[in-house]
Structures are given as structure tokens and as C-alpha cells.
Structure 1
């Protein structure tokens, strides 16, 4: 299990606004700013349930090297996150639906954030009991 990830973005304020609009659909509602020191960069974090696990930092993005899959707890969360991402300016990769090439119970949507990073919102029914599929 991962503890955290740093995502390098080209325009930090734009990315903060984007993720503040998208992540609440997945229950990720906590924000935290870390002022870098001793060679560590400033970080803008997002999390839930007492943990900050998704961090943004200013720099030169390399979107072809990054794919982030966010856990959704239902098909409705996948749809809500996808809709929020598109409304916030994301480019659609694929709309919500079953990903039959993986498993018929794998429900997901994908979009590109403002820097072009591939984001996936994923509900795997065998890992999470359906709330409102």
C-alpha cells in the first residue's frame, strides 16, 4: 500500500483549484500546506481520515510518466469525480463504465488533469461493498 505520492505540476495554483474541485467527490476533503525547508520543496497536500497522501509540487511536469488511480467507493463516486474533473477543465480519456478488459466488476473513468497527467477514478466492487452502484 502506498503512503503518499508527489505530483509535479506546472502551475501550482491552477492544479490546487482543479484538485479542490475534483477530489471531494471521492471523499478527499482535507487540505494541508507544507512550507518546504532544508532543501525540501513546498507541497500542497490533499487527504482524508487524518492522512495527507496526495501532494502537489511546482516544477516541470512529466505527464507521460504518471498515472494516478483514485479509489472510489461506488459507481456513483466514479461518475461524480469524472463529472467534476470535466467541469474543472480535464480532458476525457474514457467515460465511466465497466472495464471489461480488466474484470467485469472493475468500474472506472479516466481523464487528464491540466498538466496532462492520467487520472483514473476506480470502483472495484470486490474490494468495496457497493453503496449505490
Structure 2
């Protein structure tokens, strides 16, 4: 289970649009900015969260973008509730400027009912949008 992920990006505004387009379709929301106090060694952050984050009902997950002059690669798997959500989120990512890294397809070599698509953002970070038939709906 993931609590939070930081993703270093070269253009925060451009990346906020890309991640916002994909994550909104998967039931996430952009919930705010964290302006770090000077001297603590934490960069300014721009956050997205799932529907459980900070609600006290279930463990939630957040994704934070941070400005970086040197892109850092990360691989992030995001759960889609149904296979159609994989298709829709992938299309939104491509439209927002992401590069294709494997279109929506059944990938049963990972397990039965494993349906996924992969994109690469502006900084080389790879995102997999996946629906696993054995998972409960998010």
C-alpha cells in the first residue's frame, strides 16, 4: 500500500495539468499546495489525493509534485476501478501530452484479469494505470 509519493518534475504547471487530467478520471482530486518553511529541506509540494486521504475512514494515498531542475524517474501504479477507466485515463494522458509506453491491453502474463496501460510524463516518469479483476473497487 502506498501512503504518499513525491515526483520530481521540470515544469510543475504542465505536470499538474497532466496528472490532474488522469487522476480526476480515477476518482482523485487536487487538494492543495504545501509551501515549505525556509530551512527545513523540504521543497514546495503540489498534492493530489484519493477519496480516503485525510478523512479518517480508511488509509488514503497522496501524490505530490515537486519542482526539480533535474528530472527524477519514478514508476507509479494507479488503480482503476474498471477496465474502461484504464482506457479513459490513458486517452486523457495522451491528450494532455504524455508519451505512450504501452496502450490499454489485457496483460495476463502478470495475472488473470490484469488490464493496464502505461504512459511516460514530461520528465521520464512512468505511470501504469491498472485494473486487476481480483481487486475490490476503489
Whether these two folds match at TM > 0.5 is yes
Task: Indicate the structure with greater strand content.
Answer: 1
Equivalent runs, 1:12-91 vs 2, <5 Å: 12-37=12-37, 38-51=40-53, 53-59=62-68, 60-63=70-73, 66-91=74-99
Equivalent runs, 1:94-109 vs 2, <5 Å: 94-109=102-117
Gaps of 5+ in 2: 54-60
Question: Counterpart of 2:85 in 1: which secondary structure?
Answer: helix
Does structure 1 retain, via aligned residues, the 8 Å contact 2:7–2:72? no
Give TM-score, length-normalised by structure 1: 0.89
Matched, 1:8 2:16: no
Runs of 4+ displaced beyond 4 Å: none
Gaps of 5+ in 1: none
Give TM-score, length-normalised by structure 2: 0.86
Question: How many matched pairs?
Answer: 128
Counterparts of 1:75 and 1:24 in 2: how far apart (Å)? 16
Report the RMSD for the aligned CA atoms in angstroms.
1.6
